[in-house]
Each structure stands twice: as structure tokens, then as C-alpha cells.
Amino acid sequence: MRDLEADQAICEAATPGPWQIGTQDCVVQDFWDVDGSRQLIFDAKHPLNFKADTIFTAAARTGWPEAIKRALAAEERVDKLEDELRMLHDTINQSNKA
């Protein structure tokens, strides 16, 4: 099981997104675009799955923090609902004993 708080800290420590994908004939470039987005440019001649990998990288910068936030909120809600269910169960058991 993943530690979502640790994953969230990793996301928060990274350069703010959104990131964009660009391609040029170079090995790696890292720069800021005029709109303030980060551009990571990789050599497109050699990677086996360049397009899918770079789209994933850029999408993960904003998608992963959002997914973690929603997962943590869902876990918190499940915990609350489990507590409420336990209390209801206890109340029903006490009523049946009376």
C-alpha cells in the first residue's frame, strides 16, 4: 500500500504545474515557457514510447496531486462512515438487550 501523505509531499516539492510537452532534436532541455509553464524536452529519436511517456509526465504533475487529495478525502470519509456504522450497530445491540 502506498503512503499517500509521502506521495503528496513529493508532488508538493516538485516544480508547480501545469507542465507542457515539447519536442526538439536534443537530448534534454528544461526551461520555462512565456506562459509560466515548465517545458521538459527530450530526444524523440530513441525512446520506445516517447509520446505516451511525456504526456504521462506532464499530466501526472497536476493529475497525481489531485488524485491523492481525492483519495485522502475518500479515506477520511470512509473512516467517519465506519465509525457511524459502529455506533449504530452498538445502539441496535443495546436496544435488543433491553
**In percent, how much of the chain has pLDDT > 70?**
62
Residue 74: per-residue pLDDT: 96
- List, in order, residues 6 or more apart from 16 with CB less than 8 Å away: none
Residue 24: closest CA among 39, 6, 2: 39
DSSP string, 24-85: ESSSEEEEE-TTS-EEEEEETTS-TTHHHHHHHHHHHHHHHHHHHHHHHHHHHHHHHHHHHH
More confidently predicted of 82 and 38: 82
Instruction: Report the number of distinct structural domains present in the chain.
Output: 1
Confidence of residue 27 (pLDDT cuts 50, 70, 90): very low
More confidently predicted of 28 and 91: 91
Q: Rounded distance, CA 93 to CA 87, Å?
A: 10
The domain of 11 spans 4-97
The pTM assigned to this predicted structure is: 0.58
- Per-residue pLDDT tens digits for 53-94: 667 777 788 888 999 999 999 999 999 999 999 999 999 998
Residue 25: per-residue pLDDT: 46
